Amino acid sequence: MISEQIDFSGRVAIVTGGGTGIGYATAMQLAMLGANVVIAARTVDELEAAAARIAEASGNRCLAVPTDVKKEDACTTLVQRTIDEFGRIDILVNNAGGTRMGPLEHIPTRGWDSIFELNIRSAYVLTREAGKHMIEQKTGAIINISSGAGVNGVKGGAHYSAAKSALQMFTKVTAAEWGRFGIRVNCVAAGAIASERVSEAWKVAGLDEVEMGKSAPLGRTGTPEDMANMIVFFASDASSYISGETISVSGGPNLGGIELD
């Protein structure tokens, strides 16, 4: 039964960027479905408040571990702290990411490297470290969070598009190599997801959220919960024969062609 396949009782999940937006919505859903969750982010007060809300709402443990995922030692510590507290890792959600947009000719080398450190290098380090335990367990689910920029590219985001595209290929290759250990690896590419911080960024950039939503076939922007639904599916036994895939949560494809009434 599908209800049994999305029961996470006894499982342990790490969610990076777990204090807000997509990460918070994902951590909340996993906890409500029975998992003990470790959430990681840089902002301590925000992270601890999120963990308290998740624990209170779910009745399961939610541990806040302040982490800068761009630092390898911090990623290693996050994984070890999870093992020390819970003894296992069943789910890893590499959600931390982001960018600063700008024309290619103005992107400094350090800016390029920083975006790669945040969006792909961190996922590699955490996957490698958590994977050691998943390989020993002979089970695990890893979900990487990409973007439409990684699928189609975006002008003003050469560094971000390249990093997210790399994350998608990293997903595919990891799935191919680690399937023999019972580990599934999938990727969810976010479209226009109106998390609180993203909505604020759109306003600063002079973008109209309603108009942005109209460009999607479904006629609206997405919510963090829309993303969390797909992430939780990939983390669950309901997707037990799916690995190495990238799925877009984007409100549908934008295609050229004639105008339809």
What lies within 8 Å, CB to CB, of 129 at 6+ separation is: 75, 76, 79
Which burial class, exposed, middle or buried, applies to 181 when counting CB atoms under 10 A from its CB (0-12, 13-18, 19+)?
middle
Pick the catalytic residue: 24, 124, 160, 241? 160
- How many other C-beta atoms can be found within 10 angstroms of the C-beta atom of residue 172? 16
Tokens 């959430």 -> residue = 39
Q: Is 124 one of the annotated active-site residues of the chain?
A: no
Dihedral sign for Cα 135, 140, 146, 150, please.
positive
Angstrom distance (rounded) from CA 236 to CA 198: 27
β pairing state of 183-190 and 246-249? parallel
What is the C-alpha to C-alpha distance for residues 228 and 25, in angstroms, rounded to an integer?
A: 6
Q: Any idea which residues carry the catalytic annotation?
A: 160
